[in-house]
Copies of this chain bind each other. A is one copy, B any other.
Amino acid sequence: MYIPKAVEELSMYLNKLPGIGPKTAQRLAYYMLYMPQNELESFGQAISTLKKKTSLCSICHNVTESSVCRVCTDESRDERLILVVEQAIEIVPFEKSGTFKGRYHVLHGVINPLENIGPEEIFLEDLVSRVAAIGGETEVIVATNPTMEGEATAMYIAKRLKEDSPSAKVTRLGMGIPSGAHLEYADEITLGHALSGRRGL
């Protein structure tokens, strides 16, 4: 098959990204041949310097440009309210919604025995010691995904916090019907959660 090496090499890298298969990767690489050279250079630069220009916040492990992130240095945000997410990108929708005034903690993964990821492989003990260091009454909202691994991680966090910081309250994100959804398309598990999580009007 006849594809220029440079195009093939770029396709190979694009193909490593999630959701981009070999055909899409090839299409994108060919498309990029029509982009101006200066744009390709800044694009390439943005990729190769991505990790050099970012670091993890030493407190919450969110992706940041300095040693401590903007949320952790923001005195107006409640340090006694910590929302725990699996990945840094999951902070974005919370920040966008503007309804959360506490701080974050990024685990950078979930406990997944099948992939040999235990509590030590993610920033979980960091959370336990962070909550213990704050001391007193705190609330930890566990916002891991409602998958098997996410739920197991949430249970483990609750257990560990109960051991080390008995005064900390551990909560889980509310579950039920998403806004704008139609009941007729909701699955039975979601409906079960919606029923058990019903509220007075």
**Contact call A16/B4, Cβ cutoff below 8 A:** no
Q: Measured between C-beta atoms, what is the minimum distance from A88 to chain B in Å? A: 6
**Contact call A17/B28, Cβ cutoff below 8 A:** yes
**Number of copies of this kind of chain in the complex:** 2
CA distance A51 to B7 in the complex (A): 9
**Contact call B2/A70, Cβ cutoff below 8 A:** yes
Q: Measured between C-beta atoms, what is the minimum distance from A28 to chain B in Å? A: 5
**Contact call A71/B2, Cβ cutoff below 8 A:** yes
A92 in complex: contacting residue of B3, B24, B39, CB < 8 Å: B3
Stretch from A29-37, A120-128, A130-138, A145-153 contacting the other chain? A29-37
Q: Measured between C-beta atoms, what is the minimum distance from A14 to chain B in Å? A: 8
- The proximity string for A residues 21-61 relative to B, scoring 1 for CB distances below 8 Å and 0 otherwise, is 00010111111110101011111111111111110000000
**Contact call A47/B43, Cβ cutoff below 8 A:** yes
**Contact call A1/B95, Cβ cutoff below 8 A:** yes
Flag whether A200 is at the interface (Cβ < 8 A).
no
Chain B residues, CB < 8 A from A70: 2
**Contact call A92/B26, Cβ cutoff below 8 A:** yes
Flag whether A68 is at the interface (Cβ < 8 A).
no
Within 8 A of B (CB), among A70-97: 70-71, 87-89, 91-92, 95-96
User: Can you report 18 residue pairs joining A to B where beta carbons are below 8 Å apart?
Assistant: A4-B63, A4-B64, A5-B53, A6-B46, A6-B50, A7-B50, A10-B46, A10-B50, A13-B43, A13-B46, A16-B35, A27-B89, A30-B88, A33-B63, A33-B88, A37-B51, A44-B45, A44-B46
Q: Which residues of A contact B (CB under 8 A)?
A: 1-7, 9-10, 13, 16-20, 24, 26-33, 35, 37, 39-54, 63-65, 69-71, 87-89, 91-92, 95-96
